Amino acid sequence: MNKLKLVIFLFIGMTIFISCTTNDEKSVEFQSNWTYQNDRYWIGQEYWANRIQDWQINNGRLECLEGNRPLRTVHLLSRSLEERTGTLEMSVETGLISKTNQEDPNSINGFLIAAGNLDLHYKARAQIHNRYGNNAGYLAGIKADGQLVIIDNHDSLKVLPSTVEKKGLVLLNERKFVKLSVFLEPDDDGYSLTLSAFDENENLLTKIKANKIPSEKLTGNIALLSHYGGDKNKSFWFRNWHVSGSKLNIHKDRNWGPVLNVLYTVSRNTLKMTAQFPILGKNDSKSASLEIKESGSTLWTKIAESRLVEPGWTMPFRVEEWNDTLDYDFRICYDLLDTKGEKEKFYYTGKIPKNPKSQDEFVVATFTGNYNGKSIQDWKKGF
């Protein structure tokens, strides 16, 4: 009987452990939703695009508009690769915007993996694009000649030795798409990275595998990449980006937009506040509201509304007879519309402290920029 109880106890414990592990991995899964988004340059709060003007949502897919520049990237802000041992799986549908993409022999479209280490702030990691550099990750994608390739993007453009597990070519055209997938897993000497391409019917076209990737170089950001393309205004498109794996962490506090930031002043009992928005689409909502509550209260009160100022993409609020003897919480409320007419409500929150009349000293912060990469290199030399 004691043995039976022990077996039952161990079985229940193992079931709970498996369930918890499964739920944890499920919680870090990510799926892009460009399909029903309005056309616009701001591609969503989960992403940072390099550069912002180089990307757009158009007809339900993500498009890179800059085909003459190297390594355009879209970083996923809400997920990161951590130091712990684990796996990463990603897939995306991709294709040509125009057949002119094939004019540049050095073009690549696919993924950037492990961009920046964890010592670098995530906002700085999200700036990685344009060139190789220290801790700049690995490129995995489709070359212009139809071959799959995995490239060390750290201090050189070295193509990693790969085993061809399924021989074939991926010949893109503007009427068909390819599903590209990567699978990163630990092996006996670091990690292995498998890159596969499938046609529209999920038939495997080709597959390669690189081994002995150092585990210490596999932390940081994950991103989509569009590298050259042959036409200034046409490059590659992407949709249905799916991300999962036990090596990932989720960061819901890193989303960016649709309210980007807020500036305000309080003077002579008048509150003036400006909310900065990204470049919105013509079918997006052009209004927002300002709500406040006293610190410690749970009741929000709408005190002002505003319309979008274009160009500039700001919404100004003005509230007179402001009581500057109290601390307030505030939030900007904005409804993001999709092509189905459904609304997703977003809030940007902050605090407005009471007037510090007894305070004689103020602190001002400045930012000078950051840089990651080599000062001189030429992508056009190829790899």
Are residues 202 and 116 part of one domain? yes
The yes-or-no verdict on residue 7 having pLDDT over 90 is no
Are residues 318 and 284 part of one domain? yes
Asked if residue 87 is part of any domain, the answer here is yes
Range of the domain at 123: 32-256
Instruction: Say what the pTM is.
Output: 0.86
Q: How far apart are CA 229 and CA 236, in angstroms?
A: 7
Q: What is the pLDDT of residues 160-178, one digit of tens each?
A: 999 999 999 998 877 889 9
The yes-or-no verdict on residue 287 having pLDDT over 80 is yes
Are residues 347 and 207 part of one domain? no
Share of the chain above pLDDT 90, in %: 73
Least confident window among 10-14, 91-95, 261-265, 306-310: 10-14
- Given this model, what pLDDT does residue 171 score? 85
The domain tally of the chain equals 3
Give me 258's structure tokens: 């649709």
Last residue of a domain, one of 230, 256, 282: 256
The yes-or-no verdict on residue 379 having pLDDT over 60 is no
Q: What is the rounded average pLDDT of the residues 58-86?
A: 95
Are residues 302 and 340 part of one domain? yes
- Give how far Cα 88 sits from Cα of 17, 119, 292, Å: 21, 20, 42
- Are 265 and 111 in contact, with CB atoms under 8 Å apart? no
How many C-beta atoms lie closer than 10 Å to residue 221's C-beta?
26
At 185, give phi and psi (nearest 5°): -145, 150
Asked if residue 366 is part of any domain, the answer here is no
- Given this model, what pLDDT does residue 383 score? 53
- Are 69 and 55 in contact, with CB atoms under 8 Å apart? no
Q: What is the CATH number of the domain that holds 85?
A: 2.60.120.200
Q: What is the pLDDT of residues 333-378, one digit of tens each?
A: 999 999 998 999 999 999 999 988 777 787 778 877 665 554 434 4
Asked if residue 105 is part of any domain, the answer here is yes
The yes-or-no verdict on residue 91 having pLDDT over 90 is yes
